[in-house]
């Protein structure tokens, strides 16, 4: 679209005409029509694979190729066509399960993506409304401010100190100043198109009003998206670690399989030709390798993580990166903003101070009161449809206070419109607006932190009269500020002045000086009722909760005391940003455990707090909602963005987004993270101990010269025992006391906490019990006097035992150390169903006529079944005994 590319060369009126729109915005009907005509404002993602493609991809796996070769060898060379058919059936079933696992993980991730669609503020029917960004259409009039993400390509119609960070698109490392001036050149480089805003770039300061000139794949970032769709996906660190584990295990098991093949050539002749022995041992070695290598482990872990994220999403915690789930479980520190996370984020004016007196917010106040005028005019709150207040909670509270006292903001702004401003920033803690008053003077409204504003005040208004302010009056104001703050009120100061003309360069130096003090406003944001309980739960879990706020020290201390973060009145654990600035990094690192409350801090201090704790080896979760919070969110091990009050920049920098901005949701997410990590450990413990049991069984059968399990038997055991129970263990309920345990530590792995030793001894135990059943099988049953049938029965008993014992073992791994008796062993319905289905698939090979020959098994009598089930129960009893000893030794 050549015309769209050169839209920067058109005037505002030409742009409006070209796109058939106006500054009043589109009508709802026109917007709907354009949406139907042009489609959604989305970037096309890489086309997902079809089910057929996913199915054929399963056959690219090395071990699957080996199995196919084994099927050919079995059928063509060994003339064991039944074995070949079963091997192919196992391959096909594995492929189907692989497609199911992959699709399940993709569905979970896509469901999460759909929940993170940002909104855009547009004018429809002459009113500002918030719509999903994918419903923005060509010609929409869009309003943006600091913290927003540009929803589409936009031609600016008006700007106020607008700066946009475009590094992802242009490579420019610093934010770009934007304006609405026409660019005359024909070919302006994208980085110099200062009257355009580009989709997915971030507003760092100021405000802007513009018209949408391109959407979706027609935007500049859409062109890049088209190129990105041709690139391959990368694996996460967690997947890479699992893949590395798989490669190591594959290497070891292939060595063992080769060893079994070589040993088998010399110990299992039984008068058979060497070629037949070699073929049989080759098939056995391949089957063992395929059965013992946990090739499905990465997929199972992905499913467990995805299911965990879906469960978190239902509790209002949207995890944006799957590996973050695992990290959540090891959180040592939760550093949380106060406002909206620990509190209700429903600021209300509680007290006001003017004319030298403190008043209740319920008292009558004159609509022309200067303090009331300033708090409403120096304010970016938007009044949407049905009088909905859109903006910062503090500012909306001020406007709501005005509405409650019959201050008509819309009417005032029409007669005294804002013509200039000095936007708020976190360094100077002030905001100023300049309004054109009927006549010559301009009214300057300034609000901000009392201590900062008083530095710029020279006069005071008392009962309508303006006089020079005295030092005593300043001290009284500061004392009132302190008194309010000790009551957990957030205090803002209001001041004003009149000027004859607007400064040529409006700035804090030219505007915010020689001010008239008008009053103080004390607001409160009550703590969330569930936050106190969540903080207590976090402390029980060994997690240190930290509160961070830009509020006054006394306010922070009062709220923290009420929440239980510190003991009420304990100011020794409270530190201000100014005090933090006086510490060297080394000193702060040593003293950081002393502080639980950070008051009067800027977002830049958050990075110091995160790094100080991380330098002590702690895993830190940090919340943030502002643009300037992005560095600390990225630095933290878990960056947590606010879904309601958070800017799109902070959400984009986060690993997790809170849909309800609630601290209790973080604690729930940590609980879920601990459960997910524990369940992955259980699946790994189950798979690897079972596979070790299979390897040891076949290894010793080969060395001892016994009959060995057939390839089809090994593959069937692997199919029925590894898939369903391993996935079902991923949805195990939390173990009792999961939030009473201390964080596991930064260096812990899936093999920590006794899992590695459990894998080893339980694998040995499975192998020993199976070999023991084989020996017993040589002395029991109806064929004691028939050598061939006796050995066939014994091998069948070993086959069933090896499969059944793994199903019993699934109950063992429900906890590494806790006894089954301490919880309901059948609480996990999915595990119960998985074990039942697996047992039926195993029993089919014994009981259904025709399967005996296919799987080389014989029917068993009651005594033989009793021995098999006794071995299965013995697995549970022995492991329970080991756990009992471990608990007595203090390992739990």
Question: How far apart are alpha carbons 354 and 363 in whole angstroms?
Answer: 12
Q: Are strands 597-599 and 544-548 parallel, antiparallel or unpaired?
A: parallel
Q: Are strands 141-145 and 153-165 parallel, antiparallel or unpaired?
A: unpaired
Go through the chain and tell me how many residues it has.
892
Question: How far apart are alpha carbons 543 and 332 in whole angstroms?
Answer: 5
* Cα torsion angle, 262, 266, 268, 269, sign: positive
Distances 184 to 11, 48, 187, 208, 618 between C-alpha atoms, Å: 10, 43, 9, 21, 55
Distances 688 to 12, 656, 759 between C-alpha atoms, Å: 67, 31, 6
Q: How far is CA 762 from the centre of its chain?
A: 35
Q: Say which DSSP state 780 is in.
A: S
- Look up 540 and say whether it is catalytic: no
Closest CA to 792 of 853, 872, 843: 853
Q: Are strands 620-624 and 430-436 parallel, antiparallel or unpaired?
A: unpaired
In this structure, what are the phi and psi dihedrals at residue 587, rounded to the nearest 5 degrees? -65, -40
What string of DSSP letters covers 317-331?
Answer: EEESSTHHHHHHTT-
Catalytic residue among 83, 153, 337, 525: 337
Q: How far is CA 457 from the centre of its chain?
A: 46
Question: How far apart are alpha carbons 92 and 83 in whole angstroms?
Answer: 14
| β-pair partners for 145 | 207
Q: Are strands 515-524 and 490-499 parallel, antiparallel or unpaired?
A: antiparallel
Identify the three-state secondary structure at position 641.
strand
Q: What value does the CA radius of gyration of the chain take, rounded to a whole number of Å?
A: 35
Question: How far apart are alpha carbons 320 and 324 in whole angstroms?
Answer: 8
Using the CB atoms, write b or e for 295-326: b if 16+ within 10 Å.
bbbbbbbbbbbbbbbebbbebbbbbbbbbbbb
Question: How far apart are alpha carbons 688 and 856 in whole angstroms?
Answer: 26
Question: How far apart are alpha carbons 404 and 418 in whole angstroms?
Answer: 23
Q: Measured between alpha carbons, how far apart are the two ends of the chain, in Å?
A: 66
What string of DSSP letters covers 562-573?
Answer: HHTSS-TT-GGG
Identify the three-state secondary structure at position 404.
helix
Question: How far apart are alpha carbons 222 and 274 in whole angstroms?
Answer: 65
- Residue 390 has a CB neighbour count (10 Å cut-off) of 17
Q: Say which DSSP state 343 is in.
A: B
Question: How far apart are alpha carbons 880 and 173 in whole angstroms?
Answer: 60
Q: To the nearest 10°, report the CA torsion of 454, 456, 460, 465.
A: -160
In this structure, what are the phi and psi dihedrals at residue 608, rounded to the nearest 5 degrees? -60, -40
Closest CA to 436 of 410, 417, 422, 420: 417
Catalytic residues: 337
């Amino acid at each position: 679209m050549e015309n769209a590319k050169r839209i920067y060369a058109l005037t505002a009126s030409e742009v409006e005409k070209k796109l058939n729109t106006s500054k009043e915005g589109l009508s709802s009907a026109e917007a709907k029509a354009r949406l139907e005509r042009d489609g959604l404002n989305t970037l096309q993602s890489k086309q997902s694979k079809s089910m057929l493609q996913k199915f054929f991809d399963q056959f690219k796996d090395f071990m699957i190729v080996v199995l196919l070769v084994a099927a050919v060898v079995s059928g063509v060379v060994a003339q064991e066509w039944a074995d070949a058919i079963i091997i192919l059936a196992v391959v096909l079933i594995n492929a189907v399960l692989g497609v199911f696992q992959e699709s399940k993980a993709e569905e979970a991730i896509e469901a999460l993506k759909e929940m993170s669609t940002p909104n855009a503020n547009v004018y429809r029917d002459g009113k500002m409304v918030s719509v999903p960004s994918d419903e923005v259409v060509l010609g929409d009039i869009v309003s943006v401010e600091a913290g927003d993400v540009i929803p589409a390509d936009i031609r600016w119609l008006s700007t106020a100190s607008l700066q946009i960070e475009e590094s992802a698109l242009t490579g420019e490392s610093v934010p770009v100043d934007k304006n609405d001036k026409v660019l005359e050149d024909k070919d302006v480089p994208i980085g110099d198109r200062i009257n355009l805003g580009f989709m997915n770039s971030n507003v760092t300061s100021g405000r802007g009003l513009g018209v949408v000139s391109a959407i979706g794949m027609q935007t500049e970032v859409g062109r890049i998206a088209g190129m990105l769709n041709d690139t391959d996906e990368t694996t996460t660190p967690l997947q890479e670690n699992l893949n590395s584990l798989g490669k190591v295990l594959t290497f070891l098991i292939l060595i063992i399989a080769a060893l079994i093949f070589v040993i088998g050539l010399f110990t299992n002749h039984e008068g058979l030709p060497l070629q037949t022995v070699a073929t049989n041992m080759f098939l056995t070695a391949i089957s063992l390798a395929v059965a013992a290598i946990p090739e499905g482990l990465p997929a199972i872990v992905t499913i467990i993580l995805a299911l965990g994220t879906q469960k978190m999403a239902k509790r209002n915690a949207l995890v944006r990166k799957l590996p973050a789930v695992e990290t959540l479980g090891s959180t040592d520190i939760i550093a949380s903003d106060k406002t909206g996370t620990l509190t209700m984020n429903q600021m209300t004016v509680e007290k006001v101070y003017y004319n030298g007196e403190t008043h209740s917010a319920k008292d009558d106040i004159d609509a022309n009161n200067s303090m009331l005028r300033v708090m409403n005019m120096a304010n970016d709150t938007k009044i949407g449809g049905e009088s909905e207040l859109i903006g910062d909670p503090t500012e909306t509270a001020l406007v709501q206070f005005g509405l409650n006292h019959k201050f008509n903001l819309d009417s005032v702004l029409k007669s005294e419109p804002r013509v200039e401003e000095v936007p708020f920033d976190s360094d100077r803690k002030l905001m100023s607006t300049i309004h054109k008053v009927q006549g010559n003077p301009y009214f300057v409204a300034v609000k901000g932190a009392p201590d900062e504003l008083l530095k710029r005040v020279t006069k005071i208004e008392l009962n309508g009269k303006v006089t020079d302010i005295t030092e005593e009056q300043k001290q009284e104001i500061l004392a009132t500020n302190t008194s309010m703050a000790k009551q957990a009120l957030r205090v803002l100061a209001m001041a004003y002045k009149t000027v004859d003309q607007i400064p040529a360069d409006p700035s804090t130096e030219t505007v915010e000086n020689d001010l008239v003090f008008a009053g103080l406003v004390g607001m409160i944001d009550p703590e969330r009722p569930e936050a106190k309980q969540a903080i207590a739960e976090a402390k029980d879990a060994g997690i240190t909760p930290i509160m961070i706020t830009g509020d006054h020290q006394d306010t922070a201390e009062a709220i923290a005391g009420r929440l239980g973060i510190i003991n009420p009145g304990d100011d020794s654990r409270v530190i201000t940003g100014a005090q933090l600035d006086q510490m060297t990094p080394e000193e702060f690192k040593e003293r950081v455990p002393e502080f639980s409350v950070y008051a009067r801090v800027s977002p830049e201090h958050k990075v110091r707090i995160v790094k100080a704790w991380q330098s002590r080896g702690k895993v830190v979760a940090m919340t943030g909602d502002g643009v300037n919070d992005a560095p600390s969110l990225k630095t933290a091990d878990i960056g947590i963005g606010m879904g309601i009050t958070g800017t799109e920049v902070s959400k984009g920098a986060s690993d997790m987004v809170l849909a309800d901005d609630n601290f209790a949701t973080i604690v729930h997410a940590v609980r879920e993270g601990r459960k997910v990590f524990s369940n992955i450990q259980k699946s790994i413990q189950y798979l690897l101990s079972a596979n070790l049991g299979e390897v040891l069984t076949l290894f010793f059968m080969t060395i001892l010269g016994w009959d060995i399990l057939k390839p089809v038997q090994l593959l069937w055991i692997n199919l029925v025992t590894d898939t369903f129970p391993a996935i079902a263990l991923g949805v195990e309920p939390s173990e009792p006391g999961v939030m009473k345990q201390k964080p596991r530590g930064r260096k812990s792995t899936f093999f920590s906490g006794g899992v590695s030793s459990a894998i080893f001894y339980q694998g040995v135990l499975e192998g020993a019990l199976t070999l023991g059943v084989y020996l017993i099988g040589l002395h029991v049953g109806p064929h004691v006097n028939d050598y061939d049938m006796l050995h066939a029965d014994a091998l069948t008993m070993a086959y069933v035992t090896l499969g059944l014992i793994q199903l019993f073992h699934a109950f063992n791994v429900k906890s590494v150390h806790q006894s089954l008796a301490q919880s309901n062993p059948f609480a996990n319905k999915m595990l119960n169903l998985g074990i039942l289905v697996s047992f039926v698939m195993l029993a089919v090979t014994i009981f259904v006529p025709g399967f005996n020959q296919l799987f080389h098994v014989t029917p068993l009598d009651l005594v033989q079944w009793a021995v098999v089930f006794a071995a299965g129960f013995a697995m549970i009893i022995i492991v329970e005994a080991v756990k009992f000893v471990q608990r007595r030794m203090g390992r739990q």
